[in-house]
């Protein structure tokens, strides 16, 4: 994987997005108990009810921190209190702001895996992000053969055995990021569009069945949010300026 860790920087105190900007945040979901309590106090009643339904305590804590950080990050950009934000949910469960706080539409997306979360933000255009922790998948090639496009499966099989797991998750995150950006989740079959997956190839949507022009309207970017993690960002149009922030270095969050 390309080492992009140097991109995760200390964010400025005055956060600003323009139409040319894309901001990505990474955050740990295994903080101190005091931070969990702090984040829990930011959640709405329906979010608190959702947190209470988790069977395992670790999942409950991750949800609380992940959603609390989302509110805190959005509040910084919108200059409102995190508790004042109201979300609405698309059929696939994706949250969006129920009442935009300004003329420009702030689009955002988030993903979590293991103890890590990532958040992506942009103005007036669709955006999606997906994160996966690298882990063993015993039936990886069978899954790829069943769900990936034939071109992707062939490319995955051509990789050396030691690189196939990373190639599998690289393909999966790029597909998921695009699907989340268009608001479809897994409602669109994964074999209906093709993404690049080789480590030496630039991340991109290669082709989309039935719409030859659609692929060119999207920018894919590979992200490296931490050791043993793979992530991908999908942005409508040209990406523009990408800034990657580390929430641990942002005092207002903590």
- pLDDT per residue as tens digits for the range 119-169: 999 999 999 999 999 999 999 999 999 999 999 999 999 999 889 999 999
Q: What are phi and psi of 171, to 5 degrees?
A: -65, -45
Q: Which residues pair with 118 in a beta bridge?
A: 26, 111
Q: Among the three residues 76, 94, 125, which one is the final residue of a domain in this structure?
A: 125
CB neighbours of residue 135 within 10 Å: 10
- Identify the residue with better confidence: 178 or 90: 178
Q: Do residues 96 and 68 both lie within one domain? A: yes
**What pLDDT does 5 receive?**
46
In a domain, 239, yes or no: no
Same-domain check for residues 210 and 107: no
Count of other CB atoms within 10 angstroms of residue 136: 6
Same domain, 161 and 87: no
For residue 190, pLDDT beyond 80 = yes
How many separate domains does the chain show? 2
241 in a structural domain = no
Supply the pLDDT for residue 121: 97
Percent of the chain with pLDDT over 70: 92
In a domain, 80, yes or no: yes
- Average pLDDT taken over every residue of the chain: 89
Q: In which band, very low, low, confident or very high, does the pLDDT at 185 lie, cut at 50, 70 and 90?
A: low
Q: Do residues 30 and 78 both lie within one domain?
A: yes
Query: HEC states along the chain?
Result: CCCCHHHEECCCCCCCCCCCEEEEEEEECCCCHHHHHHHHCCCCHHHHHHHHCCCCHHHHHHHHHHHHHHHHHHHHHHCCCHHHCCEEECCCCCEEECCCCCCCCEEEEEEEECCEEEEEEEECCCEEEEEEECCCCCCHHHHHHHHCCHHHHHHHHHCCHHHHHHHHHHHHHHHHHHHHHHCCHHHCCHHHEEECCCCCCCCCEEEECCCCCHHHHEEEEEECCCCCEEEEEEEECCCCEEEEEEHHHCHHHC
List the CATH number of the domain containing 169.
3.90.470.20
The pLDDT of residue 186: 62
Are 114 and 167 in the same domain? no
pLDDT in the model for residue 238 = 87
Which of 92, 125, 158 is the endpoint of a domain? 125
Query: What are the b/e assignments for 196-213, b being 16+ CB within 10 Å?
Result: bbeeeeebbbbbbeeeee
118 shares its domain with 42 = yes
Query: Which domain, by its residues, includes 57?
Result: 11-125
Tell whether 51 is covered by a domain.
Answer: yes
pLDDT of residue 2 exceeding 50: no
Whether residues 85 and 174 share a domain: the answer is no
231 versus 101: the higher-pLDDT residue is: 231
CA–CA gap between residue 222 and residue 4 (Å, rounded): 9
């Amino acid at each position: 994987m390309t080492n992009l860790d140097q991109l995760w920087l200390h964010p400025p105190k005055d956060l600003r997005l323009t139409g040319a900007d894309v901001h990505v945040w990474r955050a740990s979901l295994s903080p101190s108990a005091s931070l969990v309590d702090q984040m829990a106090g930011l959640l709405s009643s329906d979010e608190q009810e959702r947190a209470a339904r988790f069977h395992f305590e670790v999942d409950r804590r991750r949800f609380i921190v992940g959603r609390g950080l989302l509110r805190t990050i959005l509040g910084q950009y919108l200059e409102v209190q995190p508790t004042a934000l109201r979300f609405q949910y698309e059929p696939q469960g994706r949250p969006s702001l129920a009442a935009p706080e300004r003329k420009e539409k702030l689009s955002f997306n988030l993903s979590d895996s293991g103890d890590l979360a990532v958040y992506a933000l942009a103005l007036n255009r669709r955006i999606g992000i997906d994160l996966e922790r690298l882990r063993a998948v015993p039936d990886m090639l069978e899954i790829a053969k069943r769900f990936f496009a034939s071109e992707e499966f062939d490319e995955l099989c051509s990789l050396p055995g030691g690189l196939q797991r990373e190639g599998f998750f690289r393909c999966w995150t790029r597909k998921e990021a695009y699907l989340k950006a268009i608001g479809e989740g897994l409602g669109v079959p994964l074999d209906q569009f093709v993404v690049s997956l080789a480590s030496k190839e630039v991340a991109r949507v290669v082709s989309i069945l039935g719409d030859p022009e659609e692929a060119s309207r999207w920018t894919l970017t590979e992200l490296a949010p931490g050791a043993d993690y793979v992530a991908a960002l999908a942005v409508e149009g040209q990406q523009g300026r990408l800034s990657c922030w580390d929430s641990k270095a942002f005092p207002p969050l903590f």
